[in-house]
Amino acid sequence: MEAYLDNSATTKVYDEVLDIMNKCMAEDFGNPSSLHHKGIIAEQYIKEAKSAIAKSMKVNEKEIIFTSGGTESNNMALIGAVMANRRNKNHIITTSIEHKSVGAVAGFLEDMGFEVTYLDVDNLGYISLEQLKNAIKDTTILVSVMYVNNEIGAVEPIEEIGKLIKSINPDILFHVDAIQAFGKYRIYPKKLNIDMMSVSGHKIHGPKGSGFLYVNEKVKIKPIIYGGGQQSGMRSGTENVPAIAGLGVAVEKTYTDFDEKQKRMYELKEYFTDEITKLDGVYVNGAKGRESAPHIVSVSFENVRSSNLLNALSEKGIYVSSGSACTSNEHKQKYSATLTGIGVRRDLLESTVRFSFSEDTTKEEIDYALDVIRETVPIQRRFTRK
């Protein structure tokens, strides 16, 4: 048996996504910039995907820019926005627990002369609205806060953050990395005062290398890729029609029977959390239950190295992550900024595993994983002890 519990790293594509991508590559393979019939058919796939995505968020189709995924969307949002709106302003606010596709960009902008404020989080991973309020300056251009943390599933108070920012200065731009939130919550950017929002396709059963950036039509950003002027000049390069078509289908399917899917994921998560914490020396990090995202559980195992546990589980067909799978091993910092930020004990920082579910996850997979963990953890502890 196998148990794939690493859905925050990537998800299996829907069958319908695979079908439409195959059709785009094998039959309707025209360049969407071409004026002939094949090109027109290819362009229609893009229009249909854009319509489906815009409908899911109740926004305008022209506010969707297709990208290669979450990292590019985050780069485009931060770099594009500050370059277009800096004038006499040079201040950016973000959090200490952002994904590296925001954190590394913030570091790049600091090197470029921008001032960056990093907000702290409490032991559940939530930012302080008071600290955010005090951090905003006359020179603030942009605030970037992730919706759901990719390691512990903390859900930031996005609606309250948006209201606060706009009450102080409506011109300050609010960017949200929704890569782990889109498809797990209904998100309506205009209601939440979100100016820009990043989404990745392969987190919602779409293809890798697909994603989009929502940009409110009133917001000015500069492109970070120049060339042939595709997508109204905002993201040059021939559009990846198969990936875009697949992304559109994934968004539609993700939000079909959505409430039932979300409820089921929460039930599985709560069951898993209740069972895993019955083991001695096992702790769940961050908020539990409905206070956190429905699909992420961060678990620390006392006296067990996460890398060893991950390998032992993998040998039994159980696939999990020791942290964010989006960071290459060569560039991994020693300890997770998220885990240190929420105050996880130092001896547990290298003993933490992320389990993440999807609408495909079954109770049988959960039970199998729990059985193997109950058997494996005591063995691992014997190896770890001196």
Q: Which residues are catalytic?
A: 326
Residue 356, beta-bridge partner list? 6, 296
How far is residue 354 from each of residues 8, 116, 306, 363, measured CA to CA in Å? 9, 29, 10, 17
DSSP-derived pairing of the beta strands 173-177 and 196-200: parallel
Number of neighbouring beta carbons within 10 Å of residue 86: 17
Residue 67, beta-bridge partner list? 211
Residue 244, beta-bridge partner list? none
Separation CA 344–CA 309 (nearest Å) = 19
Whether the CB-CB separation of 315 and 257 falls below 8 Å is answered with: no
How far is residue 174 from each of residues 141, 192, 360, measured CA to CA in Å? 9, 10, 33
- Taking each helix axis from N to C terminus, what angle separates 70-85 and 100-111, rounded to the nearest 10 degrees? 30
Separation CA 193–CA 165 (nearest Å) = 9
Separation CA 194–CA 176 (nearest Å) = 7
305, amino acid identity: R
Burial class (CB in 10 A: 0-12, 13-18, 19+), 257: exposed
157, amino acid identity: P
Question: Which residue stretches of the chain are H helix?
Answer: 15-26, 37-57, 70-85, 100-111, 129-135, 158-168, 241-254, 258-276, 306-315, 337-341, 363-384
Please enumerate in sequence order all residues whose Cβ is within 8 A of that of 362, keeping only pairs 6 or more positions apart, or say none: none
Separation CA 288–CA 299 (nearest Å) = 11
Whether the CB-CB separation of 51 and 40 falls below 8 Å is answered with: no
